[in-house]
Amino acid sequence: MTPDRQDKDTPSPLGNLKDALGGYLSASGHSLVGKAGERIGGLTDRLTASADGNGDGNGNGNGGSKGGGSSKSGAGSVKATHIMEVVDIGVPLRTVYDQWTQLQEFSDFTKGVRSVNSEDEVTSNWNVKVGPSSRSWKATVLEQVPDERIVWTSEGAKGSTRGVITFHELAPRLTRVVVVVEYYPAGFFEKTGNLWRAQGRRLRLDLKHFARHVTLTDEEEIEGWRGEIRDGEVVRTHEEAMEEEAADDRDDDDYEDDEDDEDDDYEDDRRARRRR
């Protein structure tokens, strides 16, 4: 009896083969989705780690940058856009970091930032334009370590973000800046804008404007905010940090003076021995 003429209630060998193949493909699909989720979940760590190497991977090492992709957030069906931008700036590390802490100046040299108002050392209010869309949000710094990294979150009517910016000294006058952002849009236009990676383009352009501003501004002695934040709390104020630096400088000067005195004593002893 051919498979076409078998009784409908009796499974045919061909039907069994189709069912088995369908089950295999379904299991394989779930496996691939799981692996994709693991890759997306580790995106931030891998992208940030690549900054200390040659910049190969998902970022450029020549001062260029590449945007990230998007994935489903764990909280629901909202797609999160992952953005990574890298830029190398021919300025010392401390100067780059101190310039970045001058948030109120961002509107002077970027295209997207309209205004930034700091409430305190931890929170600030931003007004930004992306294409035809304007948005405002409140940013909260979770961690800030001078010359190393800043970790923040933001909440606004049109979306929320989680991000980190890290600073890496490649040479005495060459600094790499890496920005990694996870953006959760809210509203029809914002979700549609994700398809065109508008947020990534805006961040890329403004990061280039920042690099140009720092490079052309001859203010290496600018005093940035040198405090430290942990878990959203200021654990060391700017004034405390500056006092510690001044104390360290005095200790270094005293140590050098002691070494100079020892050298002078040695020369005096040597001259005295020669006269004998």
Model confidence pLDDT, tens digit, residues 83-119: 899 999 999 999 999 999 999 899 898 888 889 999 9
Query: For the CA atoms of the chain, what is the radius of gyration?
Result: 28
Residue of higher predicted confidence among 161 and 272: 161
Residue type for position 254:
D
Element (H, E) at 224: none
Residue 175 contacts residue 56 (beta carbons within 8 Å)? no
pLDDT of residue 135: 77
DSSP per residue over 60-73, as a string?
Answer: -SSS------EEE-
Instruction: Write down the pLDDT at residue 112.
Output: 81
C-alpha angle 156-158-163 in degrees, rounded to nearest 5: 60
Q: Which of 118, 154, 156 is nearest to 139 (CA)?
A: 154
Q: How far apart are CA 127 and CA 16, in angstroms?
A: 61
DSSP-assigned beta bridge partners for residue 162: 153, 182
CB atoms within 10 A of CB 266: 10
Q: What is the pLDDT of residue 184?
A: 85
pLDDT tens, residue by residue, 163-210: 999 999 999 999 999 999 998 877 776 666 555 567 778 888 989 999
Listed ranges 132-136, 148-152, 255-259, 270-274; the one with the highest mean pLDDT: 148-152
What pLDDT is stored for residue 219 in this prediction? 64
- Percentage of the chain lying above the pLDDT 70 cut: 57
Q: How far apart are CA 169 and CA 88, in angstroms?
A: 10
Query: Residues 197-203: contacts with CB within 8 Å, 24+ apart?
Result: 197/67, 197/81, 198/130, 198/131, 198/133, 199/81, 199/83, 199/130, 200/67, 200/68, 200/81, 200/83, 200/85, 201/67, 202/111, 202/112, 202/128, 202/130, 202/131, 203/83, 203/85, 203/112, 203/179
Contact status, residue 184 vs residue 73, Cβ threshold 8 Å: yes
Residues 169, 99: Cα–Cα separation, whole Å: 15
